[in-house]
Chain A
Amino acid sequence: MALAKIITISGRGVVVPGNDIDTDRIIPARFLKCVTFDGLAAGLFADDRKAAGGGHPLDDPRHQGAAILISGANFGCGSSREHAPQAIRKAGFRAVVAEGYAEIFFGNATNIGLPCVSAARADLQRVGQAVAADPALSVTVDLAAMQLRFGGNAVPLTMRDSARDALVNGRWDAIGELLEGLPQVAAVAGRLPYVSAPA
């Protein structure tokens, strides 16, 4: 299974401000009633957008087609629903830049090839201001240089090494590697009575 090497992502950015944005807000539970992930984009921030009455950044015509979602600290906290990063991707985003992430969300996003990189708050404010001033500005997430570039600026990004390695080397979906390990899985399982004994 050859996976894409995800090294640089360029596109327009949009800021969804706030800290501790939970996965219930990213995609409310009623949108989880589905047996496939198709069509999840409609649920992205659905309640926040409705409450904003058209004033939500994602509904701002100037930000349509944005590929990079910019937010605050502890993004994606709460539920383990993979529907959250899936909805972000299906809405056209190719990377998230935030101050930090909840762990399950971060792992789920990485596993579907959606890079979640972290930047310092002051730098996030700078890129946010730049995007607000010029919504058409091209923003680049560079996982090789670990830099965020926009309008002649470059600020540092951070990301857990294992995730960065998986993305840039095209092994973010672990299934192939996990399958290769099956003979060793059987050996480990055989040493654990609760796994090997028939239930």
Chain B
Amino acid sequence: MTPRSLFEKVWADHTVRQLANGQTQLLIGTHLIHEVTSPQAFGMLRDLGLKVAMPHRTFATVDHIVPTDQRTEPFSDPLADEMIKALKKNCAEHGITYFDLNSGRQGIVHMVGPEQGITQPGTTIACGDSHTSTHGAFGAIAFGIGTSQVRDVLATQTISLSPMKVRRINVTGRLRPGVYAKDVILHLIRTLGVNGGTGYAYEYGGEVFDRFSMEERMTVCNMSIEGGARAGYVNPDETTFAYLKDRPYAPQGAAWDEAVARWRAVASDPGCHYDDVVTLRGEDIPPTVTWGINPGQGIGIDENIPAPQAAGSADERTAIEEALAYMKLPGGAPIKGTRIDVAFLGSCTNARLSDFKEVAAYLKGRKVAPGIKAIAVPGSQLVSAVCAELGIDRVFREAGFEWREAGCSMCLAMNPDKLVGDQICASSSNRNFKGRQGSPTGRTLLMSPVMVAAAAVTGAVADAREVFAVN
């Protein structure tokens, strides 16, 4: 048989039929919903008089607008309160499993799926959120959809979609100490551009990914969309199976063994066709920080902020000028030493146990610099609970971080956690777009959690390897 990629296999397994316009009617085996992009879809369903086709294949939680301080209803923001009530009502009405604030399992939707073992290899996963690519870490084809497609999945468990091309991305060798999964993806987006992945699913592999934990793989897959790739995935392996074993929704007993056999077989075959191949050396990847207004505008911590006159093209020059004007940063100056106002450790990119554990190891005995607002927001109630068990929350609090409840928080600032005025934030999140963190003039510098901690304790962008003597 012709060798096939994981993408081809999963696509074939889930193809229902070809539609008149040439697209595929694709089965979405797992559908995740949250409070922001689902109420309109349920409204459309009601208008059309349709039912949810497979309620047992949709799972809901609340993350985008839920406050991370106040946790009892009614919430102080009446609009947020209305949306959360709508989600609860829609789930109850249609028989959909809802991990609510009292479940102990609530969290950012892209954390809940893996934690519960809902996210599995060889599956298709859709959610009305572009960071659905996160679930690709398990060898799933996972991608964001719009609300009309949320309606389509609810009503038919399928959507109309064209297949993507597949770009294999190898990261060879090893990462240097103090370099993290976040740096890998920021470096990759810097290299390939924010639209370099348009039309592609990214298949990540190579020694660095082989060694990565599931949490590190999730961090990279999460930001595939920031490079324009709607989906990104890693072939399932022993690391994947070990993570999933005994999770609540993982198969049990004999079904587990059968599932593992299927999951092994779904990985890309040696010699399969890729539409493109890109190879990076792990050793070449520096701790990376963004200086601009899209995630591709990143540089190594030792580099200087680009100056317009050094641009290679007229386009690049315009982009640099626009970014510097918004960021109020001097072109040509080192990024290191840039003063910050806020440090945010959270989001579906970096709010997992390993992120907080790693930072806590360095934060012990350190203090957030005077005048810096530092907040840590676990991605899920489960992460929060384990951090409490391990005393990680206390390390953060003693260092001067506010330790919050689970949610998306200041990644997109739909809840009360927002930048004020033109505050500049060292952030472990995924987007540095204009106004992203809730203030129309707020500024975001994306970096790894350990780099956020280094910025928090020094009050400025710093090389965490120096601040924390990493070697």
Residue on A with the closest CB to B440? A47
Interface centre among A36, A50, A181 (most CB of B within 10 A): A181
User: What does the 1/0 interface line of B410-428 toward A look like (CB < 8 Å)?
Assistant: 0011100000000000000
Q: Who on chain A is nearest to B414 by CB?
A: A29
Contacts of B155 in A (CB 8 A): 175, 178-179
- Chain B residues with CB under 8 Å of A178's CB are 25, 152, 155-156, 158-160
Which single member of A85, A100, A174, A194 contacts B160 (CB below 8 Å)? A174
Alpha-carbon distance between A189 and B80 when the two chains are bound, in angstroms: 35
Whether B13 and A82, one on each chain, are in contact in the complex, defined by CB atoms closer than 8 angstroms, is: no
Q: Give per-residue flags for A86-103: 1 if the beta carbon is below 8 A from chain B beta carbons, else 0.
A: 000000000000001011
Query: Is A138 an interface position by the 8 A CB rule?
Result: no
B129 within 8 A of A: yes
Question: Would you call B130 and A24 a contact (CB within 8 A)?
Answer: no
Decide: B17 and A181 in contact? CB cutoff 8 A. Answer: yes
Bound: A35/B42 CA distance, A: 9
Number of interface residues of A (CB under 8 A): 65
Task: Tell me which of A19, A35, A194 contacts B40 (CB under 8 A).
Answer: A35
Q: Which residue of A lies closest to B80 (CB)?
A: A33
B249-265 interface mask toward A, CB cutoff 8 Å, 1 = contact, 0 = none? Answer: 10100010011001000
Asked if B435 CB lies within 8 Å of chain A CBs, one says yes
Answer yes or no: B294 CB below 8 A from chain A CBs: yes
Query: Is B86's CB within 8 Å of the partner chain A?
Result: yes
Assuming A33-B79, A34-B79, A80-B37, is B319 touching A20 (CB within 8 A)?
yes
Q: Hey, what's the 0/1 contact readout for A101-140 against B, CB within 8 Å counting as 1?
A: 0111001100110000000000000000000000000000
- Do residues B414 and A33 form an inter-chain contact, with CB atoms below 8 A? yes
Interface membership of B151, Cβ < 8 A: yes
Are B228 and A103 in contact, with the CB atoms below 8 A?
yes
Q: Are A185 and B156 in contact (CB under 8 A)?
A: yes
A47-B435 in contact given A80-B129, A103-B228 (Cβ < 8 Å): yes
Contacts of A166 in B (CB 8 A): 21, 23
Across the interface, do A32 and B414 meet the contact criterion of CB distance under 8 Å?
yes
Structural contact, B145 and A80, CB atoms closer than 8 A: yes
B427-469 residues with Cβ-Cβ distance < 8 A to A are 431, 433-436, 438, 440-441
**Chain A, range 46-78, C-beta contacts under 8 Å to B:** 47-48, 50-51, 73-74, 77-78
Q: Most chain-A CB neighbours within 10 Å: which of B50, B144, B258, B318?
A: B144
Contact A182 B156 (CB under 8 A): yes
A181 touches which of B21, B151, B156 (Cβ 8 Å)? B156
Query: A185 near B27 (CB under 8 angstroms)?
Result: yes
Q: Tell whether B230 is near chain A: CB-to-CB under 8 Å.
A: yes
A18 adjacent to chain B (CB < 8 Å): yes
Which B-chain residue is minimally distant from A47 (CB atoms)? B440
List residues of chain A with CB within 8 A of the CB of B354. Answer: none
Chain A residues, Cβ within 8 Å of B436: 24, 29
Judge whether B56 and A175 touch: CB under 8 Å.
no
Q: Quick one: which of B39, B120, B148 has the most chain A CB within 10 A?
A: B148
**Closest A residue to B22 using CB positions:** A162
Q: Say whether A28 faces chain B, with CB atoms less than 8 Å apart.
A: yes
C-alpha gap A108/B156 in the complex (Å):
18
Which residues does chain B contribute within 8 Å of A112, judged by CB atoms?
Answer: 148
A51→B294 CA distance, assembly (Å): 18
Task: Given A174-B160, A177-B160, A178-B25, decide whether A24 and B433 contact each other with a Cβ distance below 8 A.
Answer: yes
Is B199 in contact with A103, judged by CB distance below 8 angstroms? yes
Given the interface pairs A103-B199, A182-B156, the reply to whether A35 lies near B146 with Cβ below 8 Å is no
The listed residue (A25, A189, A194) touching B433 by CB distance below 8 A is A25
A25 touching B435, Cβ below 8 Å:
yes
Query: Taking the complex as formed, is B268 at the interface, i.e. its CB lies under 8 A from any CB of chain A?
Result: no
Interface residues of B in 333-368 (CB under 8 A from A): none
- Is the CB–CB distance between A175 and B151 below 8 Å? yes
A198 at the interface (CB under 8 A from B): yes
Contact of B130 among A36, A80, A111, A174 (CB under 8 A): A80
Q: Check: A4 CB closer than 8 A to any chain B CB.
A: no
User: Which residues from 3 to 58 on chain B have a C-beta closer than 8 Å to any C-beta of chain A?
Assistant: 13-17, 19-23, 25, 27, 29-30, 36-37, 39-40, 43, 48, 50, 53-54, 56-57
B65 at the interface (CB under 8 A from A): yes
* Chain A CB within 8 A of B322 CB: yes
A37 with B40: CB separation less than 8 A: yes
Alpha-carbon separation in the docked complex, A78 to B444 (Å)? 15
A162 to B15, CA, bound (A): 17
Q: Provide the bound-state CA to CA distance between A177 and B160, in Å.
A: 9
Q: How far is the CA of A47 from the CA of B412 in the complex (A)?
A: 14
Q: Which residue of B lies closest to A121 (CB)?
A: B315
Q: Is B162 an interface residue (CB 8 A)?
A: yes
Instruction: Out of B14, B129, B195, B414, name the residue touching A30 (CB < 8 Å).
Output: B414
Q: Any chain A CB within 8 A of the CB of B301?
A: no
**Chain B 213-267 interface residues, beta-carbon cutoff 8 Å to A:** 225-226, 228, 230, 249, 251, 255, 258-259, 262
State whether A35 and B82 are in contact (beta carbons under 8 Å apart), knowing that A79-B130, A189-B54 are contacts in the complex.
Answer: yes
Check: B128 CB closer than 8 A to any chain A CB. Answer: yes
Min C-beta distance of A174 to chain B, whole Å = 4
- Please report the C-alpha to C-alpha distance between residue A73 and residue B228 in the assembled complex, in whole angstroms: 12
Residues of B within 8 A of A107 (CB): 145-146, 149, 161
Say yes or no for A2: interface residue by CB 8 A criterion: no
Q: Which residue of B lies closest to A176 (CB)?
A: B48
Whether a CB of chain B sits under 8 angstroms from the CB of A145 is no
B97: nearest residue on chain A (CB-CB)? A199
B146 touches A81 (CB 8 A): yes
Q: Which residues of B contact A73 (CB under 8 A)?
A: 195
The answer to whether the Cβ of A12 comes within 8 Å of any Cβ in the partner chain is no
> B381 interface residue, CB < 8 Å from A?
no
Name 4 extra pairs, CB < 8 A, besides A48-B434, A100-B198.
Answer: A22-B434, A108-B146, A162-B22, A199-B249
Return 10 A-B CB contacts under 8 Å, by A number: A22-B431, A77-B195, A79-B144, A80-B132, A104-B145, A162-B21, A162-B22, A194-B120, A195-B57, A199-B97
Which 7 pairs, one residue from A and one from B, show the smallest C-beta to C-beta distance?
Answer: A82-B146, A108-B146, A80-B144, A174-B160, A47-B440, A35-B39, A80-B130
